Amino acid sequence: MATTLDKVDVVTVGAGWTGGIIAAEAAKAGLKVVSIERGRERGTEDFLRVHDEYRYAIRYELMQDLSKETITFRNRPDQRALPMRTMGSFLLGEGLGGAGTHWNGQTWRFLPYDFEIKTMTEQKYGANKLGPDYQLQDWGITYDELEPYFDKFEYTAGISGEDKNPFAGKRSNPYPTPPMKKTPVLEKFEKATSDLGYSPFMLPSANLSEAYTNPDGQTINACMYCGFCERFGCEYGAKTSPEITVIPAARETGNYEIRFHSNVVEVLHEGGKATGVRYINWMSGEEFIQPAESVVLTSYVMNNAKLLMVSNIGEMYNPETGRGTLGKNYCYQVLPGATGFFDEQFNTFMGAGSLGMTIDDFNGDNFDHGDLDFIHGGSLSLTQTGSRPIASNPVPPDTPAWGSEFKKASIENYTRTLNVGAQGASIPHRQNYLALDPTYKDAYGVPLLQLTYNFTDQDRALHKYISEKATEIIEAMGAKQAVGRAPITDYDIVPYQTTHNTGGTIMGADPATSVVNNYLQHWDVENLFVVGAGNFAHNGGYNPTGTVGALAYRCAEGIIKYSKEGGSLV
């Protein structure tokens, strides 16, 4: 039997970026907040011996324990979905800070075009640009409406950047800290892209260029460019993460508690209102009910959708009829790009997770798509994130995969390779969606989430076009050999691509086509909030967390307002 605990004002499922932001804002406003987090407590002091590629980057020390829970996957609805038994394509977070502990820190604001993508695309190219299988949708909020919240997230995180992107939405304030160091390889990219007529700028970074104290009074230190950043925690407290910012800010109020090792299995609800969550402490085996005035799902894209599904909240999306919203518009990203092989050696083993330069000339609708068979595009960057020897064995095409030729070529090119890569936007397709798996279960007997996903013709066209642009850039940088990415075929869940999963619990202006309103308040259950990249109605051409952070701040404002007034926030 489950033990019922004392009621709190707000319960969040998970304590990553979204859970941390909600907790800090609500606790500062005097609300009693509890986060139920299935992972463990951890922080900067755990990362002093973190420069271990094998343990952290290859064996995924900081990430989700799949023996307890994973998802199932298939490319098409007519296939049998099978469990993702090992991690690969994306790396799910777990523990205090969630994936925000081991992220890179590339912190973007989606383009104004992204939020009104359907309207703007149709205005310019007509209603049939992509055809009926693509489910483009506006987000129910504009860039201008979201701007104050972008600002808020950037000032919490201390983002290091420069306001030189001619395609970016208007900013109310400059970046809180100056850009990162422009290293020789970045200068090479800057020169080549400028010569080609593009507009390079320093990538906005949550690895900070200098020490910074945020409005909550939390200090983030200066980055040491240690090269063990993506997939690692930062031993300097220099990579802005929830556990060094919003979590301590929430704790300092005295209104916040985190329960670790505790896995939420259900959202409880009655008469159209959420009453709390049920969870299992997997260390003690005990089951608890945590009643709350407001329930906030902050457990990432996958479990936010799954918890709604297993709790029977909302109508499941049906790919046949297009009806239903829960699970709809799952998107990912494509990664066009090019590799350049050079004669000279570069210090690419040094770097930081968001050290880079970018051009946005081929992102969003920043270029004309009139003669192209796709929409959107992607930010094109050269990053210097620290290339490490197990994962980085670049060889020219036609080199054998093993043996002496491979050994020579991979050692030679390890320090003589640069990459220009894009985060290609992903447009929702009727057959790409989330559901519940009928066969496989997690360690608590709850069905696994089922992902049906494949790349589309839109993806393939975008990938080809942007890869050609990347190849031109790397050639202009003086590569002796430039190799564009091979055309994409079927989505493969094995090789790492990106942890930029989106959709499934999308936001919008209309309950018939979205799960939550633009405060991320559930349309059917007014004291239930669902926060994360799952709210994205499509995926843009950048990393997601800048936009996720902004949405979380807006949601927090909504939760505080709801606690006083109740009712629908829109």
Ligand X SMILES: Cc1cc2nc3c(=O)[nH]c(=O)nc-3n(C[C@H](O)[C@H](O)[C@H](O)COP(=O)(O)OP(=O)(O)OC[C@H]3O[C@@H](n4cnc5c(N)ncnc54)[C@H](O)[C@@H]3O)c2cc1C
Q: Which DSSP symbol is given to 298?
A: -
Contact status: 234 vs ligand SF4 (CB under 6 A)? yes
Per-residue string for binding with ligand SF4, 238-277, x by CB under 6 A? xx--------------------------------------
Q: Which DSSP symbol is given to 226?
A: B
CB of 346 to ligand SF4, least distance (A): 17
Residue 36's binding partner, choosing from another protein, ligand SF4, ligand X, none, with beta-carbon cut-off 5 to 8 A by kind?
ligand X
Q: Is 500 a catalytic residue?
A: yes
* Contact window for ligand SF4 (CB under 6 A) among 23-31, 174-182, 227-235, 419-427: 227-235
Out of 26, 180, 223, 264, the only residue in the binding site for ligand SF4 (CB under 6 A) is 223
The answer to whether 211 and 220 are in contact (CB under 8 A) is yes
The answer to whether 114 and 550 are in contact (CB under 8 A) is no
The C-alpha atoms of residue 208 and residue 213 are separated, in whole angstroms, by 11
Tell me, what amino acid is at 152? K
Which residues of the shown chain bind ligand X in the complex (CB under 6 A)? 13-19, 36-39, 91, 93-95, 98-100, 102-107, 230-231, 263-264, 298-300, 303, 354, 499, 532-533, 543-546, 548
Contact status: 211 vs ligand SF4 (CB under 6 A)? no
Residue 545 CB: number of other CB atoms within 10 A?
27
The answer to whether 262 and 38 are in contact (CB under 8 A) is yes
Contact status: 406 vs ligand SF4 (CB under 6 A)? no
| Length of the chain counted residue by residue | 570
- Reduced to 3 states (helix: H, G, I; strand: E, B; else coil), residue 34 is strand
Out of 7, 40, 59, 323, the only residue in the binding site for another protein (CB under 8 A) is 59
The C-alpha atoms of residue 8 and residue 438 are separated, in whole angstroms, by 34
The answer to whether 533 and 363 are in contact (CB under 8 A) is no
Tell me, what amino acid is at 310? V
Contact status: 107 vs ligand SF4 (CB under 6 A)? no
Task: Name the residue with tokens 């932001």.
Answer: 21
The C-alpha atoms of residue 203 and residue 159 are separated, in whole angstroms, by 10
Residue 234's binding partner, choosing from ligand X, ligand SF4, another protein, none, with beta-carbon cut-off 5 to 8 A by kind?
ligand SF4
Residue 238's binding partner, choosing from another protein, ligand SF4, ligand X, none, with beta-carbon cut-off 5 to 8 A by kind?
ligand SF4
CB of 235 to ligand SF4, least distance (A): 7
Q: How many CA atoms lie within 13 A of 100 on its CB side?
A: 34
Question: Which residues are known to be catalytic?
Answer: 500
Q: Which residues bind another protein (CB under 8 A)?
A: 49, 51-54, 58-60, 65-67, 69-70, 73-75, 79-80, 82-86, 88, 181, 183-184, 222-227, 344-347, 349-351, 388-390, 393, 401-404, 407-408, 411, 414-415, 439-441, 490-494
